[in-house]
Amino acid sequence: MRQLFDIQQKFRWTVYVLLTTTVLSIGFGTYSYWMALQLAERSRQKIYVLDNGQSLLLALRSDISENREAEARNHVKRFHELFFTLEPDKEYIESNIREALYLADQSAMKQYRSFKESNLYNRLIASNVSMTLKTDSVRVDFSSYPYAFHYYGRQKIVRKSNTTIRQLMTKGWLRNISRTENNTHGFLIENWIIEDNSDIQTTRRKNY
């Protein structure tokens, strides 16, 4: 009788141990699954970006969304700086224009051809004229898509005998595209138009 009682006790103990082990295993598995889901969600909210192929930067997706308007303004600013910053150097002009044309549609190519047909670039080179651009402001309307923008800036044209300041006003639209090595902001300028590019003032250089 005593032996039977001991067997029953051992059986109950074994059942308790198995139940406890099973509950703990289920609990640990549930906790691990929950932690894995949280980790996966956090990883989806992060984008890793290579900076010139060297350092690894971490950017939160929410931050990128918040900075989209700043990227749009910088895209427009960069395009205009490339398109209107010219030196009396054929290779420099071609390099700048080539970079600028990656950021816009055929409307920019049309304007480039117009400048080329008017012999603008050859005259710059022959006369040693330098043109630089200072951005005053860039306004982008994110209330509707594609995004309308207006650019305001001033051109400084340095000739041998004088310096001319011109105002530059343009407008166009921005369309979202995939980011590429040549277009890191992921925007494309469309239907770009120069509204005003008139002289503001001309001053004689001191050494003339």
- Provide φ and ψ at 87, rounded to 5°: -125, 160
* Residues found in the chain: 208
> What is residue 55's predicted lDDT score, i.e. its pLDDT?
44
pLDDT over threshold 60, residue 59: no
Residue 13 pLDDT level (bands cut at 50, 70, 90): low
- Has residue 30 got a pLDDT over 80? no
* Digit-coded pLDDT (tens) for 174-193: 999 999 999 999 999 999 99
Res 54: pLDDT: 46
**Fold (CATH) for 68-204:** Nuclear Transport Factor 2; Chain: A, (3.10.450)
From 122, 100, 124, select the one nearest 111 (Cα to Cα): 100
Q: Is 189 in contact with 173 (CB distance < 8 Å)? A: yes
Residue 84 has pLDDT above 80, yes or no: yes
What is the mean predicted confidence (pLDDT) over 129-139? 97
How far apart (Å, rounded) are the C-alpha atoms in residues 126 and 106?
A: 28
Query: What are the residue boundaries of the structural domains of the chain, listed by start?
Result: 2-44, 68-204
Rounded to whole angstroms, how far apart are CA atoms 153 and 82? 13
**Burial state string for 8-29 with b = 16 or more CB within 10 A and e = fewer than 16:** eeeeeeeeeeeeeeeeeeeeee
* Range of lowest pLDDT (51-55, 74-78, 83-87, 189-193): 51-55
